[in-house]
Structure formats: structure tokens, C-alpha cells
Structure 1
């Protein structure tokens, strides 16, 4: 018996197009050589007036030689938290052709220690990165008084 199901038209299927436009020469991109240079770069891109006001989550995307390809403000939250969706982090990393990531968020409370949620997110991003061959180099917590590095503390 022959099926009478309608064959879909190709024009009715959404198309995905990958595109990467680099406007900064490699020589002009900052190179991250440790937590201090990452924290300094991230702090320079932060509005100091909001550091103690509301939590924000940012991501740096790096190439194989640890030059920053791009930075992204992933989310803006409230006083006690913000949402960092791993799928948005990885879709951006893949589109930018990143080989490594540095996560960063601030603690308006001034507490430099990571929460259990911070540790769980870091673990999840590290595991996802292993599947995609994208290294998680660090997760930095910023406050107006300093920074905390998961890498420096041996939590990666």
C-alpha cells in the first residue's frame, strides 16, 4: 500500500547560516596569561557603578593561543543572583570558533567565595566543554575589593 503523506516543501524549513565576522586583528586582541590578566580585562569592561548593585554574568571567548576573540554579557540579574544558560554560552562559543572560555560574575554582597550554585554551574560548563573540545580556563568572581579565581583555588 502506498503512503499518501504530503512531502514537505524545502522552502518551509528554517535555514541556519553560520557566520563569523572578525573586526579585530589577532595582534590587537588581549592575551590572557592567568587569572590576574583575566580579572583586569573583565573589571575594565565592567561598569563600576553596578559592581555592588546587581549581579551580572559575562563570558570571554578565546582562541588556541588565549587571545580574546570576544566578550559577552550573558545576563543581568538582581541583588542575589543571575541566570547563566549553558546553551547560550556554548552556542556563542561554537559560533565564534572559540577554543576556550573564561566565565565571570560579580557578587554585589562583596563576598568573594563561590556559592554552591556557582560551583555547580562551573562543573556543568567544564563537562560540556569537554564534549565540545572547548576548555574552561577559569571562573572569576569580581567584587569591588578583589577577585576570586576557580583556577587559582584548584576548583577546575
Structure 2
């Protein structure tokens, strides 16, 4: 009996930061996260398109990176938990801060925002990840789920 040979793709996992741990900013409050995240947004698009990004941190809340998860239209975007978890696991993150902008400038969370946050928190628990916050941001301000006791 002959065995069939199958071709399969090799999957490689890597993370290559190009700076020292001591040079990474440390998050101690929502304001720190907002200032790092707002620098990652295009000011030409922040009031036009909704985007969802995550800020990844290590155990000491030092920033590992910011990942753009999705870009949508004026009234929404899709944040796929699988993409969020893949990025977090690939970078060996211990914590995640979720963030999305509101082109309208309205910062109050919707039912969908709350449901998504809870869904990601539940999945993160299984993976031993912490969802530290969810920020809804605008050009000039932000809403923090953690600051409002919603985490």
C-alpha cells in the first residue's frame, strides 16, 4: 500500500520589535492609551470612516504595538474577534485595549459596542488575555469603558 504525499503550507509565528523594552511606552491610565492611539489615526479620516484598532501590551502594560483590525464606513465597522486574538497571540501580548472611532463625534457606547466588548472579554479569558479597556475616540476626546466601570 502506497502512502499519498500531501502538500501543506508551513505556518510560522514571529514577532520582531525593533526597539528595547525600556523604550516602550507604559499604559497606566486611559489617557495614556488615548494619546498613543490617536497618533495612529489619520486625522483626514477620523471624522469620515470608522476604524477599529487594538493596542497590545505586555504584563507590565508596556506597549507592544497597535494593530488596525478593520475599516468601515460612516456608521460602522466589523471587529472580528478571531483577528483580534490572532494579533494578540502572535505578539505574545498579555493585555489588549480595544479602540474605535466615531466619525459623528458621539462617544456614548451603543448596545453593539457593549455586546462586542463582552464577547471579546469572554474569549480573552479562555486565552488568559486581559481586555483592559475599550476606548471610543474622536479627534478631541474619548470614552473609556474602564473609567466608567464597564470592564
Task: Return the TM-score normalized by structure 2.
Answer: 0.94
Q: Rg bigger for which structure?
A: 1
Aligned residues: 151
Give 1:74 shift. Answer: 1.1
Give 1:147 shift. Answer: 0.4
In 2, the alpha carbon distance for the partners of 1:7 and 1:14 equals 19
Per-residue CA deviations over 1:109-142 (Å, capped at 9, x if unaligned) read 1111011111111001101110000100000000
Task: Return the TM-score normalized by structure 1.
Answer: 0.91
Aligned CA RMSD, in angstroms, stands at 1.3
Per-residue CA deviations over 1:93-113 (Å, capped at 9, x if unaligned) read 111000000010001111110
1:1-156 maps to which residues of 2 (within 5 A)?
7-9=3-5, 11-156=6-151
Q: Which runs of 4+ in 1 moved over 6 A?
A: none
Give 1:21 shift. Answer: 1.3
Give 1:20 shift. Answer: 1.9
Q: What residue ranges of structure 1 are gaps of 5+ in the alignment? A: none
In 2, the alpha carbon distance for the partners of 1:91 and 1:12 equals 24
